[in-house]
Amino acid sequence: MAITTLWDVAYFMATALLGLVGRIIPPLAAPLGNVDLIWGLAALVFGAILLAASMINTIMLIWFERKMLGRFMDRRGAMHVGYAGLLQNFADGLKLFRKNTFKPRDADGLGFYAGPTAYLVTSLLMFGVLPVSTGWSDGSLPLSMLLALVIFSFAPLFIFISAWSSNNKYSLIGGMRSAAQMIAYEVPILLAVVAVVVVSGSFDLNTIVNEQRNFWFWTLPLTLAMIVFVTGMLAEMERIPFDLPEAEAELVEGWNTEYGGMLFAYFMLADYVRALAGSILIVLLFLGGWTLPSYVPAALTSFPLAGIFWLMLKTYLVFGVFVWIRAALPRVRTDQLLRIGWMRLIPLSLASVVIAAAFVLVKCVPVLGCVPSMGG
């Protein structure tokens, strides 16, 4: 069996593990050889690898942001734990882990504890859906993009639950802002995605990425859609121009005011998990995913794990742009945010759908030539 995908690796590990156990304890050899059992264990191993990879990437993302933001602000960022502060976030996480988690007296216990947990778990679910390279998962979901966006939009529910149940006025205002903001920005995001679907003719992220390979990504015909999508993503991630729900100047910490210790860490982590997933989504939808344009020398894409390398590089660059925006722009106001969402982005996203449809009809771009396969 050739090991080409991560699933193969997981399956191989599960087989080997069960085989080893069967070798040591011969009576168990036959029942352990059950294909379903191997498949189940392989799924577990697959999930564990995925979780570890995404968590490490998330924490690296936090480090990346801290260092980069530091340079934008003429300072250094984390310095001392590990080389250039690489392990600082692990140290911070350990500290939060050791802290006491306490609940305000009048807070609702179930919501208070379940909210952040569910928020983190649903955010992590994203990585089960997003393909990271051709060798990542076996097969593909036909509607994976839709599924990713659905998972992505779970968040306001849990934020609101945790905000409401922590029984704090700031949390409440923050939760309401969060809900309003995320709902307002779902619409332009979905419309921008429609433009992508129109051009690629598929809801499958694998297909979308492969389609882009032929055509120097889609930045030119889908520039407008990309701007709308990135702006919407900024709002969905609650990053700085749109971080009203946790606007610390007026709302202390917004919806996570009452949280401390590990529950706060859940929120922080989930925020960055969402940031990572969102950045990956942007790369997949607009920047060619793990592929490079077809005229790039093959040597650049043929080394081992090249797909993951290029995807992560692009992801970090996209996230770097977010950090840049954070370093340079103040936060907008709630009404302005909603006005930007409803009055500017939605018309823009509708326009982007029209533009995309026009491209599909013409199948040509003035400078770059014609692409017969466009539009599926």
Partner 1 sequence: MAADVEQKGRSKPENPFLIIGKPLATAARQFAKSLIRPSTIVYPFERLEDPKFREEVAIRSGRPIGVGQVWDNYRGVHALNVNTCISCNLCAFSCPDLCIDMVTVPGGDPKHPKKCPQIDYGKCSYCGFCSDACPEGCLSMTTRYELSTPKRAEMVYSPQKMFEIYQRKLPMNPIRLERPANEDSILLDVPLCIGCNACARDCPTECITMLDIPKVAPKPGEKPAKRIWKEPVINDSDCVRCGTCISVCPKECLFWGTHS
Partner 2 sequence: MSEMWINMGPQHPMTHGLWNLRVRIDGEMILDVDPEMGYLHRGIEKISEDRHYNEVITLMDRTCYVAGMAWEHLYIQAAEKALGITAPERAEWIRMMSEEFQRLASHIMWYAAFVQDLGLMSPFLYGMRDRDLILDLFQAYTGGRLTYEYMRVGGVRNDLPEGFPKQAREVLDWLEPRLVEYDRLCMGSDIFRSRCDGLGVLKESDCVRLGVTGPMLRSAGSKRDIRKDRPYSRYSQVEFDVATADAGDVTGRYLVRMEEMRQSIRIIRQTLDWLDHHPGPVIADHLPRWLGAPYAPVGREGYLLKRNYPKGVGLSAIEEPHGEACAYVVNEGGEHPYRVKFRSPVFANLSACSHYLVGYRVADIPPIMGSVDVCVGEVDR
**Contacts (CB under 8 A) with partner 2, residues 154-183:** 169-170, 173
With b meaning 16 or more CB within 10 Å and e meaning fewer, what string describes 220-259?
A: ebbebbbbbbbbbbbbbbbbbbbbbbbbeeebbbbbbbbb
**39, 324, 358, 361: which one contacts partner 1 (CB under 8 A)?**
324
Is residue 70 part of the contact set for partner 1 (CB under 8 A)?
Answer: yes
By CB under 8 A, is residue 292 in contact with partner 2? no
| Closer Cβ to partner 2, 52 or 73, answer by number | 73
For residue 364, the cross-strand partners are 370
Residue 106 makes contact with partner 1 by CB under 8 A: no
Whichever of 300 and 317 has its CB closer to partner 1, that residue is: 317
For residues 182 and 156, the answer to whether their CB atoms sit within 8 Å is yes
Q: Rule CB under 8 A: is residue 335 a binding residue for partner 2?
A: yes
Residue 82 near partner 1 by CB under 8 A: no
Q: Which of 4, 223, 294, 336 binds partner 1 (CB under 8 A)?
A: 336
Closest CA to 195 of 172, 213, 220: 220
- Binding segment for partner 2 among 48-56, 295-303, 305-313, 328-336 (CB under 8 A)? 328-336
CB of 337 to partner 1, least distance (A): 11
8 neighbors 1 (Cβ within 8 angstroms):
yes
Q: Which residues contact 165 (CB under 8 A, 6 or more apart)?
A: 107, 108, 109, 110, 111, 112, 115
Q: How far is the CB of 344 from partner 1 (least distance, A)?
A: 7
- Let me know: does 183 contact 340? Beta carbons within 8 Å: no
Q: Which of residues 248-287 bind partner 2 (CB under 8 A)?
A: 248-252
Is 329 one of the binding residues for partner 2 (CB under 8 A)? yes
In the block, tokens 């982005």 appear at 345
Judged by CB under 8 A, the number of residues near partner 2 is 29
Name the residue nearer to partner 1 (CB basis): 36 or 74.
Answer: 74
Classify strands 364-365 and 369-370 as parallel, antiparallel or unpaired: antiparallel
What does the alpha-carbon distance between residue 154 and residue 148 come to, in Å, rounded to a whole number?
10
Degrees (nearest 5) of the Cα angle 327, 267, 256? Answer: 85
Q: Based on CB atoms, which residue is closest to partner 1, 132 or 345?
A: 345
- Contact positions toward partner 2, by CB under 8 A? 69, 72-75, 169-170, 173, 240-241, 243-244, 247-252, 326-336
